[in-house]
Chain A
Amino acid sequence: MFEQYLSLTHYDIFFFLKAIGMTLWITLVSITIGTLIGIVMGLIRCSKNKIISAIPLIYIEPLRNSPLVTQLFLTYYGLPVVANIVLDAQAAAIITLSLNTGAFFSVLVHSAVKAIPKLQWEAGFALGHNRYSNFKNIIAPQVLRLLIPSAITLYINQLQVSSFVSLISLIDLTKAGHILTLRTMRPFLIYGIVFVLYFAISYPLSKLAQRLEKKVAFNY
């Protein structure tokens, strides 16, 4: 029963480790940049001026409502032809995934700010805060508390979705599994390993998100 493991060499272990490194690197960089974009866009979205608050929608809606694969192909195959911007696979993946994360994150920020009751703002104004210091000292900490669990859920989702970068020839965990499957012809074993690796990364995070969600729940 165990002879099937012999078809895997020690080289394959390093191959998998490198692939995990690639997946984690792409995910971490893109969620970091995406979070920054998302915060900026989400705050613009919260502006009182209706026209200004609608501007980020031009960025958010197309990215949220179209498949990530298309976006990846657009940056990887489309940009060199039209704009003469030649990106290597890794840069294209990071750019696309960060923009994608940013779009989703800005919606989270917007809905978290909207979820804070108006009374909190009014109480702040009554205490003599101006709009900026009110936001910074009273609203933002509460927003952060609401935001963290949903942000972790989004990050887990982005980790899953980062497997799509294997379609633009980047060797991440999915692609490594694909290559090894084609070589060893043992899909159950190889994809079993890939499943376990992805699961081991994202399951603890999702448990953390669930626990935080319970902790954060608060009735105003």
Chain B
Amino acid sequence: MYLNFSFLKTFYPMLLQGARLTLIISAGSLVLGFMLGIIVALMRQSKSRLLRFIGSAWVEFLRNTPFLVQLFFLYFGLPELGIHTDPIITSILALGINSSAPNCEVIRSGLLAVKKGYYECSYALGYNSFQTFRYIVLPVSLRLAFKPLTSNFINLVLTSSVVFSITVNDLMGSSKTVAARTARPFEVFIFIMLAYCVFTFVISFVAKAIDRRISITL
């Protein structure tokens, strides 16, 4: 048993391209998932019973079905509806929708943690309810939710590795090609595993540094 990492010399541009695509997909779905998460969290807070039901059904559905099935559903189902898109866009969509469920839970617990005094205070200052939400409640609750949101993001990056199954050549997909071409799958996949590890460590390190600056206690 010996390990031979010489494939890196020939194939690093391919892997880098894959890594770039992984970054693009995770960034896109981070934004989408965050927006959807806020919207669904607000739906779950709303006074209308229907909206509350839709919000919780959305979250429960996404949390209790596997991501891979959701991905395949969108990939095969969208053309049925007449929407023909790139697999990259499909995967961003699927990842964004999937990550909206945990994001919603986290943001909702952040919103619930904002005490009544904050609302009363901002009403007393003459803000209307939208301004209260936009300038007072949302920033505070996002600061509270920052840490779990980053761990959701790390999860999202790790989950994004399955999109190779719908023909997207992200880091995992290109590594599969490299493994097939070099016939050294063990080294390639170990390398990719470590690359993902380094990536997530960097994210969590940066997130911790930011969190130390913005974290607050109510």
A interface residues, Cβ below 8 angstroms from B: 61-62, 65-71, 73-74, 77-79, 81-83, 156, 159-164, 166-167, 174, 177-178, 181, 187-188, 191, 194-195, 198-199, 202-203, 206
Contact = CB atoms under 8 A, between A and B. Distances in A.
Contact of A81 (B64, B76, B185, B194): B185
A104 B160 CA distance: 19
B64 A163 contact: no
Contacts of A81: 183-186
A66 B171 CA distance: 12
A77 B64 contact: no
Contacts of B193: 62, 66-67, 70-71, 74
30 contacts: A65-B154, A65-B196, A65-B200, A65-B201, A66-B158, A66-B194, A67-B158, A67-B172, A69-B162, A74-B190, A77-B179, A77-B186, A78-B186, A82-B3, A83-B1, A163-B68, A167-B68, A167-B162, A174-B68, A174-B72, A178-B72, A187-B73, A187-B80, A191-B73, A191-B77, A198-B64, A202-B64, A203-B60, A206-B60, A206-B63
Contacts of B67: 160, 163
A188 B172 contact: no
Contacts of B165: 167
User: Closest 8 CB pairs between A and B?
Assistant: A78-B186, A67-B161, A187-B76, A163-B66, A82-B186, A66-B193, A77-B185, A74-B189
Contacts of B5: none
Contacts of B68: 163-164, 166-167, 174
Interface string B142-166: 0000000000001000110110110
Contacts of A202: 64-65
Give the residue among B3, B66, B154, B192 with the most A Cβ atoms within 10 A.
Answer: B66
B61 to A, nearest CB: 7
Given A69-B161, A77-B189, A187-B72, 12 more contacts: A66-B196, A70-B172, A73-B185, A74-B186, A82-B186, A83-B1, A160-B65, A163-B67, A174-B66, A187-B76, A191-B72, A198-B69
Contacts of B176: 73
A76 to B, nearest CB: 9
B121 interface: no
A70 B187 CA distance: 12
Contacts of A162: 66
B214 interface: no
B8 interface: no
B102 to A, nearest CB: 11
A190 B186 CA distance: 35
B210 interface: no
Contact of A188 (B64, B80, B154, B175): B80
B31 interface: no
A154 to B, nearest CB: 13
Contact of A62 (B77, B159, B179, B197): B197
Contacts of B183: 81
Contacts of B159: 67
A84 to B, nearest CB: 8
B111 to A, nearest CB: 19
B163 to A, nearest CB: 10
Given A69-B172, A78-B189, A181 B76 contact: yes
B85 to A, nearest CB: 15
A74 B161 CA distance: 14
